[in-house]
Structure 1
Amino acid sequence: MIVLVPVSMFNVNFSVARGRPYSRLEQRVLEEIAARAGVAPHQGATLTSLCDTFRVHERLMVEAVVTLVGAGWVAVTSGREAAFVLTDEGQQACVSGKEPASVIVAPAAPCTLVFDKTTGQLARRGEAPTVPKEQARPDLNPSTAVRIVRTALDESQIQKLLPRASGEWIRSIGRPRLVNSDRYLPVRVNLADRSIMGLPRGWHQALAGEILTTAQTKKDELEDNLDVQATLQVSVAKVTTSAQPLMPATAPGDRPTPLSIPGRRAPATALGTGAASQARVSFPWLEDAELLENGSVTPPDRSIEAALFSEAFGEEAHQLLITKALATAAHHVLIASPLVNMESLSKLSEVIQGAVSRGVRVDVLYGDTEEGTVPKDVVDLLNRIGYHAAERLGRSLLKPAKERTGSGASLLAFDGKDGALEAVIGNYAWIGSPGSEPGRSVHMGGTEFMAQVARAAAGLWAWSGDSDSADRWRRVADRCQDATAVSAARGDRLRDQVLAELVVDDEHARDAQSLEAGELRAGGTYQHNTGIAAGIRGISVRIRRSEGPDLP
C-alpha cells in the first residue's frame, strides 16, 4: 500500500568558508610593522623594507601583507611609496598574541530542504523524492495528517543538513524561502511485516507509527467496503433469482445492466472504492530494494566535538552558575527560561544590573509567563534595571523579549574573560518557579558546538519577533566558526572532550525516549498541538564520550 506524507519545500542560500591560522611569517611581519611604528610613527613599513628585513621573495611578502590588511589589522597609508601601519585591532593583537583565521568566504550552491508537515522532520531534497499533488493522487492514496505548518525554518536545524566539503564550514545562512507547500512524499507500507520503504534516514522514529496507523485505517476501510459489496451482491442475486420468472422478456435492442446479470460483480468505482484507479498510480523508485537500506531506522550521527565541563543539579547549583555567568561575562549573556515570574526575575536584578553596568549585553527570553505575570511587566522591570545600571545605554544593553517564545528551552549562554562562549543547557527555569523535580543541566563549551547554540539563540529571538537581536547572535555564531577553523588548523584538542548533538524543536520527535549505553541527555521542551507554534519547541543536548569511559 502507498501512503503519502504531506511536505513543503524550502530553498536556502548559504555561504561556506575555509581558512587557516596566520603563518609564522605573517606574525613576524605584524611585529615588524609594530616595531617600525615605534621608530618612525609617521612613516611605517614599506614592501621594500619588509622584503629587505625578512629576505623573502616579494610575492610571499605581498601575500602576508594582504592577509593582514584583509583581517583589519594593518592599514595602508598614501605617499610616494605605500606604507603599512597598525590599526587599533592590530595593536591589540600584538599585545594579546591573538591569532585569527585567514578566511576565504564563498557562496555555496543553494540547498533545497524537504519539511514533513506531520511531525516537522527535515531532509535534503535528494534524500526525499517528492511528487506534486496531481501525481500523488491524495484522493486515492491515504495520507498522514497535516499538523505543522511552517513558513520559516529554524537555522539551528538547517545548519546540520547543509552540504560542505572537507575543511569547509558554514559561514552564514540566509533566510529559508518557502518554494512549494503542496507536495507529497510517497512511501510503500507492508502491514504484514510492518515495514516502510522510502522514508529518509532518521524519519522513522517520528513518522513510522503515524504511517502504519494511516495504512491500517485505509485497509480497514477497504475491507468494510468489500463486505458491503459482498452483502449487496448477495441481496441483488436473491432478488434477481426470485423475481426472474415474473420478469418480462428483454425487448430487442435493450442491454441488461450489470446488476441485472446474475453473478456479475459491480465495478469498484460504482461502489466508491476507487481500487481500480489506485492500481494505476505508480512510484517506480519505491521498487528499488536499496531504498530500504537507505531509509534506515537509525538516524545519521550528527554529533560534533564539544567540551563537557560539569553537570548541575538542584536550585543552589543553578543559582551559582547564573550568578557567576553574570559576574564574569565579558560581552554576552543570554538567559532563556521556559517560564518567568516577577519574583524570580527580581531576585536576579542586582547581578543583572552589575553585568550591564560593566557594558555586558544581557538578553532575557521566556517560553511562557506564569499566572499573574504578563510580558509588559517583565519588560518594564528589565527596562528599569537597565536604566539604573547604565542610564540611556541600558535600553540597548539589556534586551528583554517583548513576546513569549513558546519554547521549553532552558539555556544560559555567556562568554568568559578569555572570550570563549559557554552554555548551560537543561530543564531549569532560570527566572521561573522551581519545578516538582530538581533542575538538571550540563555546562558545555567548544567553538563548533557553541556556533550551533548561538544559532539556536538566534532562532529563539526570531520567534519572539526581534530580528535585530537574532542577527546579532548569528554574528556570534560566525565568530565561533572562525575560531573553530583556527583550532582545527592548529590541531588543538578540547579539554573534557565529548561528542554532542544539539537537538532543536521538532527534531525531538525522532529522539528515542530511552538512553543508550554511555549516553547523557539534558534539556526541556513544550508540546504545542495547535496554532502557528504547533509541534515540539525546545532545546536538548545528547552527549557521549568520544573515547574513554562511558558517561554515568
Structure 2
Amino acid sequence: MIVLVPVSMFSVNFNVARGRPYSRLEQRVLEEIAARAGVAPHEGATLTSLCDTFRVHERLMVEAVVTLVGAGWVAVTSGREATFVLTDEGQQACSSGKEPASVVVAPAPPCTVVFDRTAGQLARRGEVLTVPKEEARPDLNPSTPWRIVRSTLDESQIQKLLPRNSGEWVRGIGRPRLVTFRRYVPVRVNLADRAISGLPRGWHQALSTEILAVAQARQEELESTPDLQPTPQTTARKETPLVPAQPPTTGPARPTPLSIAARKPRPTVVGAPKFPQVGSSFPWLDGADSIGNGGDDSPDQSIEALLLSEVSGEEAHDLLLAEALATATRHVLIASPTVNAESLSKLGDAIQAALTRGVRVDVLYGATEEGTTPQDVVDLLHRLGYDVAQRLGRELLKPAKEPTGSGASLLIFDGREEGLEAVIGDYVWAGSPGSKPARSVHVGGTEFMAQVARAAAGLWMWSGDPDCADRWRRVANRCQDDTAVSAARRGPLRKDLVLAELIVDDEHAQVPQDSEDGALRTGGTCLHETGFAAGIRGISAVIRRPETLATP
C-alpha cells in the first residue's frame, strides 16, 4: 500500500567561511604597530620601520600588513610615508590577547530542503524523492494529515543540513524561501510486517506511527467495503503517450520526479482486485536499494563540546544564574518556559548590576503564568533598565514582547576563560518551579555554542521583536571563527570534552524517549496541537562521552 506524506520545499541561501589563524609574524606586526602608536602616536609604524624591526624581506611584510588591513584591525594614514595605526577592533584584540584569524567569507550554492508538514522533519532534497500532486494522486492514495502550516523555518535546524567542504563552516544563513508549497513523499507500507520504505533516514521515529495508522485505516476501509472504488479528482485520465527510447547511459539510472512524469502507463491486469493498486506507480520503492528503507536510526549530529557541570535542584540553578549575571562581560540570555512578575522582580538587582557593566541582557519566555501579561513583563524590565541607565538601559535590556510558545529553558552568558557558555535543561528561571527536580547541563565549546547562539536567534524570531535575532547570529559567527582558530592550534584533549547534540523544536520527534544508550538528555519542550505554532517547541541537549574521549 502507498501512503503519502505532504511536504514543502524551501530554498536557503547561506555563506561559508574558511580561514586560518594569523601567522606569528602577523601577530608580532600587530603588536609592534600598537607599541609604536603608544610611544610616538604622531609617527606610527611604516613599512620601512617594520622591515627594519623584524629583518624580513619587504614582500613578506607587505603580505602581513595587507592581511591585517583586510581584517579591519589596521588602517593606513596618509602622509609623506604611509603609516599604520590600529583600528578600534585592533586595539581590542591587542588588549584582550585574543588570537586573531584570517577569515574569507563567500556565498555557497543555495541549498533546497524538504519540510514534512505532518511532523516537521527536515531533509536535504537529494535525500528524499518527492512528486507533485498530479503524480501522487491523493484522491487514490491515503495521506498523513497536514498539521504544520507555518511558512518559516528555524535556522538552528537548517544549519545541520547545509553542505560545506572540509575546512569550511557556515558563516550566515539567509531567510528560507518557500519555493514549492505542496508536494508528497510516497512511501510503501507492508502492514504484515509493519515495514515502511521510502522515508529518508531520520524520519522513521517521527512518522512511522502516523503512517501505519493511516495505512491500517485504509486497509480496514477497503476490507469492510470490498466494492469500494476510490473516486479520482478527474472523471477521465488522458493516456500518456509512449516515450521514444532513450540512448543508453553509462551507469544505472536513478529515478527522479522528472523521469516519473513520462513513464509508460501500466497495463491492465486480468483478475486484478476491484480497488486500484496505484502503489506500483512509484517503481523506485520496489528496488532493493530503495531510498530511506533503512531503520529508525537518525543521522548523528553530535559535535565536540565541553561538559562543565551537571546542575540539579533549584538552589544550584539560582546560584548559577546569579554567577552568570555577576561575571558576564557582554551577553546574558535568559529563556524561561514560563514567567511571572514576582519571580522576575527577584532578579531585578542582579540584572541591574549587569547593566551597569554594559552587559546586554535578553529575557524571553514561552508563556506567561496566571496574573501576568506580556505587557507586565515589558513594563517591568523597561523600568529596571531605565532606572539604572536611562535610555541606554532600554537598549541593553531586551524583553520579548510576546511569548515564544517554546518550552526551552536556556541560559547563555560569557565572562570565563571558557568563552561563551550555556545551561540547557528544564528549570523555570523566571516563573514558578516545576513539580519535578530541575536538571540541566552546563556546557561550552565554540562550535557547539555557535549552534546554541543560532537557537537563541530562533527564539527571538517568535518573540515579536525579530530584529534582536541578528545579534545572536553575529555571536554565532564569532564562535565559528574561534572554532577555526582552536582547530588549527589544538592542544591535548581536555578531560571534560564530550560529544553533544543540540535538539531544537520538531527535531525532538526523532529522539526516542526510552533510549538506553547511556546518553545524558536534558531539556524542555512544549507540544502545540493546532494553530500557526503547531508542532514541538523546545531545546534539549544530548551528551555522550565516547570511549575515545572518556577519561580513565
Q: Same fold (TM over 0.5)?
A: yes
The amino acid of 2:10's aligned partner reads F
What's the secondary structure of 2:226's corresponding residue? helix
Amino acid aligned to 1:161 = L
SS in 1 for 2:290: helix
Can you list the C-alpha shifts for 1:9-31, whole angstroms capped at 9, x where unaligned? Answer: 10000000011111111112112
Partner of 1:94: 94
Per-residue deviation, residues 416-448 of structure 1 (Å, max 9, x unmatched): 144811111111110110111111111111111
How many Å separate the matches in 1 of 2:197 and 2:276? Answer: 21
Distance 1:503 1:372 in 2: 32
Q: Which residue of 1 aligns with 2:167?
A: 167
Corresponding position of 2:313:
314
Q: Per-residue deviation at 1:58?
A: 3.2
Q: Which moved more, 1:450-459 or 1:91-100?
A: 91-100
Change beyond 3 A, Cα 1:455–1:223:
same
Compared with structure 1, are the counterparts of its residues 382 and 181 closer, same or farther at alpha carbon in structure 2 (3 Å cutoff)? same
Structure 2 partner of 1:379: 378
Give the counterpart letter for 2:393 in structure 1: G
Whole-Å Cα distance in 2 between the matches of residues 398 and 94 of structure 1? 29
Kindly state the Cα deviation for residue 394 of structure 1 after the two structures are TM-superposed. Answer: 1.2
Aligned to 1:243: none
> Using a 3 Å threshold, how does the CA distance of structure 1 residues 132 and 65 change in structure 2: closer, same or farther?
same
Shift of 1:94: 2.8
Shift of 1:90: 2.3
Identify if the C-alpha distance between structure 1 residues 495 and 174 changes in structure 2 by more than 3 Å, giving closer, same or farther: farther
The 10-residue stretch of structure 1 (80-89 or 217-226) with the greater mean CA deviation from structure 2: 80-89
Unmatched 5+ stretches in structure 2: 230-269
Please say if 1:337 is aligned against 2:309: no
Asked whether the equivalents of residues 544 and 550 of structure 1 are also in contact (C-alpha less than 8 Å), the reply is no
Q: Once superposed, what is the RMSD of the aligned Cα atoms?
A: 2.1
Shift of 1:285: 1.9
Matches within 5 A, 1:134-173: 134-173=134-173
Matching residue's letter, 1:537:
R
Cα distance between partner residues in 2 of 1:173 and 1:320 = 35
User: Offset of 1:317 from its aligned partner?
Assistant: 0.7
Counterpart in the other structure of 1:23:
23
Are the structure 2 counterparts of residues 221 and 461 from structure 1 closer, same or farther at C-alpha, using a change threshold of 3 Å?
same
CA displacement at 1:227 relative to structure 2: 6.4
Q: Give the structure 2 partner of residue 210 of structure 1.
A: 210
Match runs of 1:403-552 below 5 Å = 403-418=402-417, 420-492=419-491, 493-494=493-494, 496-547=496-547
Structure 1: which amino acid aligns with 2:163? P
Q: Which shows bigger deviation, 375-384 or 487-496?
A: 487-496
**Aligned residues of 2:16 and 2:105 also touching (Cα < 8 A):** yes
Q: What SS does structure 2 have at the residue aligned with 1:523?
A: strand
Q: Distance in 2 between matches of 1:449 and 1:399?
A: 24
Q: Is the 1:306–1:494 Cα contact (8 Å) retained in structure 2?
A: no
Distance between the aligned counterparts of 2:77 and 2:49, measured in 1? 15
C-alpha distance after superposition, 1:318-347 (max 9, x if no partner): 110111111111111111000111111111
Structure 1 position 531, deviation (Å): 0.5
| Alpha-carbon distance change, 328 to 394 in structure 1, aligned in 2, over 3 angstroms | same
Q: Deviations over 1:238-284 (max 9, x none)?
A: xxxxxxxxxxxxxxxxxxxxxxxxxxx9997xxxx7516x36x6122
**Any idea what the Cα deviations from partners look like across 1:214-243, whole Å, max 9, x if unmatched?**
1111112222221679xxxxxxxxxxxxxx
- Whole-angstrom distance in 2 between the partners of 1:437 and 1:85: 58
Summarize the alignment of residues 266-415 of structure 1 with structure 2, pairs less than 5 Å apart. 274-275=275-276, 278=278, 282-291=281-290, 295-415=294-414
Structure 2 distance, partners of 1:105, 1:385, is 40
> Is the CA contact (8 Å cut-off) linking 2:449 and 2:479 kept in structure 1?
yes
Partner amino acid for 1:144?
Answer: T
Partner SS, residue 333 of structure 2: strand
Distance 1:352 1:396, change over 3 A: same
Would the aligned equivalents of 2:118 and 2:144 in 1 still touch at CA under 8 Å?
A: yes
Q: In 2, distance between residues paired with 1:519 and 1:343?
A: 36
| Cα 1:546–1:66 shift into 2, 3 Å | farther
Residue correspondence of structure 1 range 154-233 to structure 2 within 5 A: 154-226=154-226
Paired with 2:145 and 2:438, the residues of 1 have a C-alpha distance of 35
Change (3 A) 1:522 1:413: same
Residue 249 of structure 1: aligned partner: none
Amino acid in structure 1 at the alignment position of 2:369: E
Question: Equivalent residue for 1:9?
Answer: 9
TM-score relative to the length of structure 1 = 0.88
Offset at residue 494 of structure 1 (A): 4.7
Give the 3-state SS of the residue equivalent to 1:326 in structure 2: helix
Contact map agreement 2:311 2:439 (CA 8 A) in 1: yes
1:294 positional shift: 6.0
Change (3 A) 1:497 1:267: closer
Which structure has more helix as a fraction of its residues? 1
Contact in 1 for aligned 2:13/2:176 (Cα 8 Å)? yes
1:447-471 Cα distance to aligned partner (Å, 9 max, x none): 1111111111111110112122111
Q: Whole-Å Cα distance in 2 between the matches of residues 352 and 179 of structure 1?
A: 44
1:71-111 CA-to-partner distances (Å, cap 9, x unmatched) read 22211111233221222332333343221211011100000
Q: Is the 8 A contact 1:20 1:489 kept in 2?
A: yes
Matched residue, 1:69: 69
Displacement of 1:371 in angstroms is 1.0
Cα-to-partner distance string for 1:46-75 (whole Å, 9 max, x where unaligned) = 223333433433332222111111222211
Q: How far is 1:311 from its partner?
A: 1.2
Runs of 4+ with >6 A deviation: 265-268, 548-551
Distance 1:267 1:443, change over 3 A: closer
Q: Distance in 2 between matches of 1:132 and 1:228?
A: 26
Letter aligned with residue 146 of structure 1 = W
CA contact (8 A) 2:128 2:292 kept: no
1:509-534 deviation line (CA, Å, top 9, x unaligned): 11101233321000000010010110
Bigger-Rg structure (1/2): 1
Identity over the aligned pairs, expressed in percent?
Answer: 75
2:35 is aligned to 35
Change (3 A) 1:304 1:294: farther
Q: What letter corresponds to residue 108 of structure 1 in structure 2?
A: A
Alpha-carbon distance in structure 1 between the residues aligned to 2:350 and 2:418: 20
Q: How many residues of Structure 1 are paired with residues of Structure 2 in the alignment?
A: 510
> Following the alignment from structure 1 to structure 2, what is the Cα–Cα distance between the partners of residues 58 and 371?
71
Partner in structure 2 of residue 241 of structure 1: none
Give the whole-Å Cα distance in 1 for the aligned partners of 2:524 and 2:337.
8
Alpha-carbon deviation of 1:404? 0.5
Distance 1:516 1:207 in 2: 21
State how far apart, in whole Å, the 2-side matches of 1:48 and 1:287 are. Answer: 73
Separation in structure 2 between the aligned mates of residue 59 and residue 340 of structure 1, nearest angstrom: 61
**How far 1:373 sits from its partner (Å)?**
1.0
Query: Is the CA contact 2:74–2:90 (under 8 Å) kept in the aligned structure 1?
Result: yes
Evaluate the alpha carbon distance shift between residue 403 and residue 95 of structure 1 in structure 2; reply closer, same or farther with a 3 A threshold.
closer
Instruction: Tell me the SS of whatever aligns to 1:32.
Output: helix
Maintained 8 Å contact 1:518/1:545: no
SS of alignment partner, residue 131 of structure 1: coil
SS at match of 2:469: helix
Q: 2:305 touches 2:499 (CA, 8 Å); kept in 1?
A: yes
Normalising to structure 2: TM-score of the pair? Answer: 0.88
